[in-house]
Amino acid sequence: MMKLYWSPRSRSFTTLWLLEEAGQPYERVLTDISAGAQKTPEYRAINPMGKVPALADGDVTIAESAAICAYVAERYPQANLAPPLGDPRRGKYLQWLFFGPSCIEPALIQIFTKLDVPTSTAAWGSATQVFDVLDAALERGPWLLGDSFSAADIVIGSGLNFAIRQFKMVPTRPSFDRYIARCVARPAFQRAETIAAG
């Protein structure tokens, strides 16, 4: 059985939601980051970065939310969380799956710290560009791959929910509001939110 190492009020929510969508049995292992549980040698053997979430599946251990999402989506294809190899939507799926950690998260750090990074050297361009690109993609909706919900929506939906609904770091836009509402309406999202609330 898969084991999810997680902590409330953290990036773990993304993988918690994903596992609820996948519909496969898993065990939650609470990792108390406020007490430093992620810094122990035992936990660093699972994730050397000492962060949550991490996933153990038999002999496989994997960290980083988007990587866990990709792994579980491919491990359980019957959950329909990823287009199969050869599907023309797969390229966009992978692009959006990794847009969260490579563009949205740095943009949020830029906003939060008021960091001035030249767009020519910032891998994400700028926070404005990141959210403009996402706005244009979500206008086409209802999901990032059109009518097909995927693990990419879990990564992006989690990020937007965090940035807009929970911490109000990013000004909302009509496309974001509609998208977040669709995400929040999903039963798996609601179950994950209940679990995360404790």
Measured in whole angstroms, the distance separating CA 85 from the mean position of its chain's CA atoms is 21
**Least confident window among 14-18, 29-33, 105-109, 123-127:** 123-127
Q: What confidence score (pLDDT) does residue 71 get?
A: 98
Q: What confidence score (pLDDT) does residue 122 get?
A: 67
Dihedral (C-alpha) 26, 27, 32, 37: value to the nearest 10 degrees? -100
What distance in Å separates the CA atoms of residue 22 and residue 2, rounded to the nearest whole number?
A: 12
Percent of the chain with pLDDT over 70: 99
Q: What confidence score (pLDDT) does residue 121 get?
A: 66
DSSP class of residue 84 equals P
pLDDT tens digits, residue range 129-168?
A: 999 999 999 999 899 999 999 999 999 999 999 889 887 8
What distance in Å separates the CA atoms of residue 43 and residue 67, rounded to the nearest whole number?
A: 18
- Using an 8 Å Cβ cutoff, are 163 and 108 in contact? yes
Q: Report how far apart, in Å, the C-alpha atoms of 52 and of each of 86, 120, 177, 197 are.
A: 32, 31, 28, 16
Percent of the chain with pLDDT over 90: 69
Give 122 or 164, the one with higher predicted confidence: 164
Task: Residue 162: count other Cβ atoms within 10 Å of its Cβ.
Answer: 20
Q: What confidence score (pLDDT) does residue 32 get?
A: 84
Mean pLDDT of the chain: 92
**What is the distance between the terminal CA atoms of the chain, rounded to a whole angstrom?**
22
DSSP class of residue 83 equals P
Q: Which domains does the chain have, with CATH numbers?
A: 2-80 (3.40.30.10), 90-189 (1.20.1050.10)
Q: What average pLDDT score do residues 48-59 get?
A: 94
pLDDT tens digits, residue range 8-52?
A: 878 899 999 999 999 999 999 998 888 888 888 998 999 999 889
**Residues facing 55 on adjacent strands:** 4, 62
